[in-house]
Amino acid sequence: MPITIESLAQINDMTHLRKAVDQLDSELIGLLRLRFACMDAAARIKQDRNVVRDEARKAAVLQNVKNLAKEAGIPVPTMAAIWEMLVETSISYELQKWDQLRK
């Protein structure tokens, strides 16, 4: 059963709430796996290592996340900090993959 804001409002004990959090964590890991697969593809597609770091794209991603966080009613500074780390980690990962593909 998918977890929704409405279904969470029906939970009245910590055991069920923790189960929901664990399910969401699992779903987040699955989504992050897909995001890192995108980095694998980017490393394969980009022919120049110098274009792996794209500060304009990074700024656009971070602004988009801030907008989405605001619309969702969740803490914008926190989401921006998480995504800053995610983007920097993604860039580092992509650089490693780029190098591995061209050894």
Q: What percent of the chain has pLDDT over 90?
A: 97
Q: Which of 43, 41, 40 is nearest to 51 (CA)?
A: 43
Phi-psi region of 3 (alpha: psi -120 to 50; beta: other; left: phi over 0): beta
Read off the pLDDT of residues 51-79 as tens digits, 9 standing for 90 and up: 999 999 999 999 999 999 999 999 999 99
Q: What is the band of 103 on the pLDDT scale with cuts at 50, 70, 90?
A: confident
